[in-house]
Structure 1
Amino acid sequence: MSGSVPTSVDVEPPPFQPRPMPPPAPTGQIRASELAARSPIAGLRHVGLGVPDLRQACAFYEGVWGLYRVADDRDVVFLGSVGSPEPYIVRLRQAHAKRVDIIAFAGRSRAAVDALAADLATSGFRLVREPGEQDTPGGGYGVRFFDLDGRLIEVSVEVRAKSFRSLEAGESVPQKLSHVVVNSTDIAATMAFYERFLGFRLSDWLTNRMAFLRCSTDHHSLAIAQRTRVSLNHISFEMRGIDEYLRGTGRLIRHGHAPAWGPGRHSAGDNTFSYFADPHGNVVEYTTELEKIVDEDAWTPRVWPGTPDYYDQWGTAGGLEDLYALDSQSEADSGLWTPAPI
């Protein structure tokens, strides 16, 4: 070997090259903080599902998914989360066919519930239940109505909290209900309804096929996907952290439930994801570390591209074939424009 070896190296290491940010999304004329101030709601409470086999659904959500029974009444079971003060976050009801019974949000006050009911009624939307006292676990005061697509929506206040506790390290059960994603045949119209009456704000788009909407500091509590039918897209549950999210994903796999997509990490919302099918084909998700939006007006909504390096930042989730197959098998929701019996 000829020549001398340098005694010092002063070459700079290459800089980190982050992915470029996608373009900002077009926004409306009303400031996000104004929409937030007008909003009658403060967060997501629970989702009710009608299922053809209640025993099978309970075995999945109690025995594998990580919820626990807080009440039952004939053919209805109410399931809570260890880490949530909500009286229940999932309601299961024996039904002839799979359907979404209800999506429930927390209201801000009785006055806000009454004002929402009056606004909907004068705008021609059907109230299924006038504002009044509720007889479900936790009680409270609420109103029920159909949204633009025929989903039954509830907004309630003064609901009694149940006992809860902080999840322990390694405890891989849902901490709370994170968000619900619905399919619509007219994403713009459905989004406008939720902005106009419930005060949701746009957080991001996924191309022009999914809008992520917030009603709290969570990046999204509701998302709307453009599809050829009105139906449920998925229900998402927040885990304690990355370790617990992966432990929960592993538990589902060990019980014979292979992920339809995941584990991976989204760009819009920056949250992790593992999607599974429940026994009736409803898609449910474990997630964690969903982005927080504290300053309404400082946030810039983006139009995220639907390319692999953006819809899965980690590149670990695999292809979307199984998730698409589940979506293609779903029919229009049989519960549209039909009030749930309870």
Structure 2
Amino acid sequence: MNPPATKYLITHLRHVDIAMPELDTQLAFYRDLWGLTEVASDSGIHFLAAEGSPEQYVVRLRKDPMKRLDLVSFGAATPADVDLLSSQLVRDGVRLVHEPRVLDTAGGGYGVRFFDIDGRVVEVSADVAVRAHRVIEERESIPVRLSHVVLNSPSPEATVAWYGRHLQFRLSDTLHLPGRGDFMWFLRCNPQHHSVAIARGPHVALHHISFEMRGIDEYLRGTGRMLRNDIEKIWGPGRHKAGDNTFSYFLDKAGNTVEYTTELENVDEDTWHPSVMHMSDPAVTDQWGTANPVNEFVAAKSFNDPDKGLFVAPPV
């Protein structure tokens, strides 16, 4: 008899919440240029949805004197799974922000919040109301959904181990920098190659937030719209080897890196074996050879500013 399949409690990435002093220009960027839809606002907090996604929102913007990552939110299948995860976290000594409870936010739901090993706030929720969404049309260059989030850590091996132990994330692939060792770890919570990646950086910070487009044409049209509006490009357009996805990276108005992507690989979890990809091979960073070289400028922008909100829960 085969052993029972492992039950994974995390199902998917829901939303990424960021705070910044310059809220008005940040809101205008995500709503009017990047292509998200404002669905709710309350006392200086704005909720932005992707038109093709059933999630109530994929980005939350909050005005704050400090620039920070407020939280990263993941889905669970049921409230019972949220309770089970919470009990496991408490058993293992993970510090909760709050115990499982009804969430007072767009879409409601039932969730728990806690700090990860680096001091970020993580939320896991279930029973969030599904948003009415639609099929993104051909040539419509707006995000279909949130794709993934990448986080910087000065001790990435420990961070990767923490996400594996406590949230059951599985390693898909690793990037290796010659002379500097392993550099980025791609972690999945479902068949998508990665919903989270952990990058080696000089401090804890947000590396980038990635948004899935309908296809190659829509991805390039969105990239072109950013360029025509003089949004600072960091890297791209190109196509990574890890995940086999396209990439164009830009800076939002608070200096966070955001990405348009498409065609992120799905893996067979029963047969997939992680590999180490060496960045000395130019095809690893960009299979097409169309992107600007990875240099100190790209690295510095990706490091972002040190997160000022570590081990401090956002007010909402």
**Cα distance, 1:309 vs structure 2:** 2.4
Please give the root-mean-square deviation of Cα atoms over the aligned residues, in Å: 1.3
Offset of 1:216 from its aligned partner? 0.9
Secondary structure, aligned partner of 1:334: coil
* Residue 273 of structure 2: aligned partner: 300
Q: Are 2:209 and 1:235 equivalent residues in the alignment?
A: yes
Equivalent position to 1:96, from 65, 71, 87 = 65
User: Structure 1 residues 137-146 or 307-316, which shifts more?
Assistant: 307-316
Residue number in structure 1 paired with 2:127: 158
SS state of the match for residue 142, structure 2? coil
Deviations 1:123-171 (A, max 9, x none): 1111101101011000000000001110000000000011100100000
Report the Cα distance in structure 2 between the residues aligned to 1:292 and 1:124, rounded to whole angstroms. Answer: 33
Distance 1:80 1:286 in 2: 15
Which of 34, 54, 58 matches 2:23? 54
User: Could you tell me how far apart the structure 1 residues matched to 2:315 and 2:31 are?
Assistant: 23
Q: How does 1:51-90 map to 2 (within 5 A)?
A: 51-90=20-59
Does the 8 A contact of 1:38 with 1:199 survive in 2?
no
Alpha-carbon distance in 1 for matches of 2:45, 2:169: 30
For 1:210 and 1:324, locate their aligned partners in 2 and report how far apart those are by CA, in whole Å.
13
1:215 paired to 2:196 = no
* Aligned counterpart in structure 2 of residue 134 of structure 1, from 82, 95, 103: 103
Following superposition of structure 1 onto structure 2, how do residues 1-342 of structure 1 map, counting pairs within 5 Å?
37-207=6-176, 208-293=182-267, 295-307=268-280, 308-321=282-295, 322-328=297-303, 330-342=304-316
Deviation at 1:298, TM superposition (A): 0.6
What is the letter of the counterpart of residue 221 of structure 2?
R
Local SS of the residue matching 2:233 = coil
SS at match of 1:273: strand
- The one-letter code matched in structure 2 to 1:155 is V
Gapped runs of 5+ residues in structure 2? 177-181
Map Cα deviations across residues 241-285 of structure 1 (whole Å, 9 max, x no partner).
000000000000111114210000000000000000001110000
What is the CA-CA distance between 1:327 and the residue it aligns to?
3.1
| 1:63 alignment partner, SS class | helix
Amino acid at match of 2:250: F
Contact 1:241 1:289 in 2 (8 A): yes
Where in structure 1 do 4 or more consecutive aligned residues deviate above 3 Å? Answer: none
* 3-state SS, counterpart of residue 260 of structure 1: strand
For the residue of structure 2 that corresponds to 1:338, the secondary structure is coil
Q: Percent identity?
A: 53
On the 8 A contact 2:240/2:283 being kept in 1, the answer is no
How far apart are 1:74 and its partner, in Å? Answer: 1.1
Code of the residue aligned with 2:156 in structure 1: it is: I
Distance in 2 of aligned mates of 1:199 and 1:126 = 17
More strand by share: 2
SS in 2 for 1:41: coil
Deviation of 1:39 (Å): 2.0
Distance 1:149 1:287 in 2: 27
Note the alpha carbon deviations across 1:52-102, whole angstroms, 9 max, x for none.
Answer: 111010010001000010000011000001100100000000010210000
Letter in 1 for 2:302: D
Residue in 2 aligned with 1:13? none
Q: Structure 1-normalised TM-score?
A: 0.88
- How many residues align? The count is 307
Letter in 2 for 1:203: S
Offset, 1:320: 2.4
Stretch moving more, 318-327 or 99-108: 318-327
- Amino acid of the structure 1 residue aligned with 2:209: I
TM-score by length of 2: 0.95
Q: Secondary structure at the match of 2:6?
A: helix
Q: Deviations over 1:299-328 (max 9, x none)?
A: 121101113222111110012233223135
- Which piece of structure 1 moves more, 108-117 or 76-85? 108-117
